[in-house]
A and B are shown apart, each in its own frame.
Chain A
Amino acid sequence: MANATQSPLERNYARLGILLIGPTVLVFCAVIVYPLVSAIYLSLFSIYTPTLEGEWVGLSNYRELLAKGEFWSSLWTNIIWTVGTLTLQIVFGVGMALVLHQNLIFRSLARSLILFPYFVSTVVAVLVWRWLFNDLYGILNHFVMLSGASDMPVDWLGSMPNALLSVILVGAWKYFPFVVIATLARLQTIPDHLYEAAKIDGAGPIARFFDVTLPQLRDVLVVIIMLRAIWDFKEFDLIFLLTGGGPVTSTQTLPLLVYKEAFALNQMGMASAYAVVMMAIMLVFMILYIRRTREEEDR
């Protein structure tokens, strides 16, 4: 009986719920789902960008790209960039979080300064770093020559492997604050008695880090690594603006290849195929992350 009186109200609520999510669903369909399906569809055509005239070519874009050296070399660069910058982000990020977790004078100011690179526009970050990297008047070359590490100014962005290393370094500088903040939040929740117990057992600071801190951080680090791996893998702005993929194509990652194919070489169909393959690669990480998030929510 109670059920029968409740159910019209619940049905009303369900209707209201759908009404409230309506705008979201509408926008999602129009600007995300439709373009996504469309991208897959476009990848089956050969389209010349200026005229936008297309011709059905089926799967031949995919066949062509898998046979092309440029795809594989870009994928390889993409992996090196992701692994390189992510490793630096994690190492510096956790290190800095441990430092900021201690009693430090003006700690909140220090935290703001650390946080700033993460929020500053990539355009600003790149302009500043290109000025630092400047071969004649850049301050970095001044420091290098002052320290005697080299008599000649270093060509930071114009030659290999410097260019890739510079890009990885700037990426680490820009994104490591994310790791700092996320780790710091977790550090503050580790109960003190764990450290005290370890101290009584005679563990030094290094042993305490490996036996107490690191296991406690494990879960949050897994999440951070997955998220940052996804975001670093798809990074476009930073690399495009720093080197444009150069010298030649040595810092060209997949997102840059998609852009070049679509808007410089005017092959939109081919570019879509690159984008779809790139998404397929990322899908592995995305599914892992989504599955993990769901498990956490169910807990």
Chain B
Amino acid sequence: MRIIRRVLFNLFAWALVLAVAFPLFWMVVTSLKPGFELFRRPPTMLPETVTFEHYWRLLTETPFLRYFANSVILATTTTLVVVTIGTLGAYSLVRFRYRGRESLAFLVLFTYLLPSVVLIIPLYLLMVKLGLANTIFSLVIAYTTFALPYALWLLRSFMAGVPEDLESAALVDGASRMEAFWDVILPQLLPGIISTALFTFILAWNEYLYALVLVNSDSARPLTTGVMTMLISAFNIEWSLLMAASVMMSLPLIVVFAFLQSYLTRGFGAGAVKG
């Protein structure tokens, strides 16, 4: 009786999980089907013939690789800038006492919740005025507006988790504050930094609105807006090609999920919601 109930529960639970994951499964299946199979009724659940022609066309006949490279540069630069500034800032916010520190922490949380559409018009005007519109650099600047508060907020709670005694012990041994930071705090904080970097990277990789408004040329366009341009400019929508693009676009994420997932869960615990 007990076993039957367990089996039934497992079936039910997995049915739910698979239903949630179905769109992603369908994305992969569609990307592997040859054109003629795509429009068959009833649709085939698994491709009868597996083909990689759509991936090949994506890489050779479309600007996909250019977009991909742009996205890599954009997300990496944003992550490096934000995590560097954010780590120093978080150290200061958590471990130092000075006037205005509380209000700063408040400002960080406020900007963390701020909607992008409020900032986008002034930022657009600013980029036009500085002559930076249509560059990857303009997007790096724009992305710090949401990525820095986010990273600071995460790092701040990771930093609070590093025991203060360790730092004090190093100080008693005669280290300066910055030496203690390098030798004691950074190694302790490293998992938190990795986790924050992953979140920031994913955030920058997935961003759409700023890319839509600030960049209007293929040379600087990242994947999100690039792939949507492919959709709009196509004469008839080629779903297999778009699904192949979607799979390729999710590659970094799949890598993270396969190898670094514990860092993602850790970030969830620290940043978004606390007990």
Q: Which residues of A contact B (CB under 8 A)?
A: 10, 13-14, 16-18, 20-21, 23-25, 27-28, 31-32, 34-36, 38-39, 42, 52, 96, 99-100, 102-105, 110, 112-117, 119-125, 127-129, 131-132, 134, 137, 139, 142, 146, 173, 178, 181-182, 185-186, 189, 219-220, 223-224, 227, 230, 233-234, 236-237, 240-241, 254-255, 258-259, 262-263, 268, 271-272, 275-276, 278-279, 282, 286, 289-290, 293-294, 296
CB interface residues, B 139-166, toward A, < 8 Å: 141-142, 144-145, 148-149, 152
- Judging by beta carbons under 8 Å apart, are B26 and A237 in contact? no
- Judging by beta carbons under 8 Å apart, are B14 and A31 in contact? no
From residue A92, how far is it (CB to closest CB) to chain B in Å? 9
From residue B229, how far is it (CB to closest CB) to chain A in Å? 11
Contacts of A18 in B (CB 8 A): 92, 96, 98
Bound-complex Cα distance A217 to B274 (A): 12
**B43 touches which of A128, A137, A181, A182 (Cβ 8 Å):** A137
- A and B contact pairs by CB, cutoff 8 A, 12 listed: A21-B93, A23-B85, A28-B107, A36-B118, A99-B13, A115-B257, A117-B24, A124-B27, A124-B249, A237-B209, A290-B106, A293-B109
Contacts of B264 in A (CB 8 A): 115, 119
19 more contacts with CB within 8 A, not counting A17-B96, A34-B126, A36-B118, are: A13-B177, A24-B88, A28-B111, A28-B148, A35-B119, A35-B126, A42-B121, A112-B257, A115-B261, A119-B202, A119-B253, A123-B223, A127-B245, A127-B246, A146-B42, A173-B23, A255-B115, A275-B117, A278-B117
Contacts of A105 in B (CB 8 A): 10
Given known A127-B231, A279-B115, A290-B109, contact A20–B91 (CB-CB < 8 A): yes
* Nearest chain B residue, comparing its CB with the CB of A189: B275
- Judging by beta carbons under 8 Å apart, are B253 and A224 in contact? no
From residue B142, how far is it (CB to closest CB) to chain A in Å? 7
- Judging by beta carbons under 8 Å apart, are B275 and A128 in contact? no
**A120 touches which of B17, B26, B250 (Cβ 8 Å):** B250
B50 at the interface (CB under 8 A from A): no
From residue A282, how far is it (CB to closest CB) to chain B in Å? 7
- Judging by beta carbons under 8 Å apart, are A278 and B118 in contact? yes
Bound-complex Cα distance A27 to B122 (A): 15
Bound-complex Cα distance A219 to B274 (A): 10
B9 at the interface (CB under 8 A from A): yes
Q: Which residues of B contact A (CB under 8 A)?
A: 6, 9-10, 12-14, 16-18, 20-21, 23-24, 26-27, 30, 38-39, 41-43, 85-86, 88-89, 91-93, 95-98, 101, 104, 106-107, 109-111, 113-126, 128, 141-142, 144-145, 148-149, 152, 177-178, 202, 205-206, 208-209, 213, 223-224, 227-228, 231, 239, 242-243, 245-246, 249-250, 253, 256-257, 261, 264-265, 268-269, 272-275
Contacts of B121 in A (CB 8 A): 39, 42, 258, 262, 268, 271-272, 275
- Judging by beta carbons under 8 Å apart, are B117 and A234 in contact? yes
Bound-complex Cα distance A240 to B120 (A): 16
* Nearest chain B residue, comparing its CB with the CB of A12: B177
- Judging by beta carbons under 8 Å apart, are A20 and B117 in contact? no
Bound-complex Cα distance A24 to B249 (A): 31
From residue B137, how far is it (CB to closest CB) to chain A in Å? 13
Most buried by B among A28, A132, A178: A28
- Judging by beta carbons under 8 Å apart, are B20 and A117 in contact? yes
Bound-complex Cα distance A114 to B120 (A): 32
* Nearest chain B residue, comparing its CB with the CB of A179: B273
Given known A21-B89, A27-B148, A128-B246, contact A35–B123 (CB-CB < 8 A): yes
**A13 touches which of B96, B114, B128, B228 (Cβ 8 Å):** B96
From residue A89, how far is it (CB to closest CB) to chain B in Å? 12
- Judging by beta carbons under 8 Å apart, are B249 and A263 in contact? no
Contacts of A10 in B (CB 8 A): 97
Most buried by B among A117, A137, A189, A289: A137
Contacts of B250 in A (CB 8 A): 120-121, 124
Given known A120-B253, A220-B275, contact A127–B242 (CB-CB < 8 A): yes
**B117 touches which of A21, A52, A142, A258 (Cβ 8 Å):** A258
**A282 touches which of B41, B115, B142 (Cβ 8 Å):** B115
- Judging by beta carbons under 8 Å apart, are A279 and B118 in contact? yes
- Judging by beta carbons under 8 Å apart, are A234 and B116 in contact? yes
Bound-complex Cα distance A173 to B95 (A): 40
Contacts of A99 in B (CB 8 A): 12-13, 16
From residue A41, how far is it (CB to closest CB) to chain B in Å? 9
- Judging by beta carbons under 8 Å apart, are A139 and B97 in contact? no
Bound-complex Cα distance A142 to B41 (A): 8
Bound-complex Cα distance A186 to B93 (A): 27
Contacts of B12 in A (CB 8 A): 99
From residue A50, how far is it (CB to closest CB) to chain B in Å? 11
Contacts of A31 in B (CB 8 A): 119, 123, 141-142, 144-145
Bound-complex Cα distance A13 to B101 (A): 13
* Nearest chain B residue, comparing its CB with the CB of A259: B117
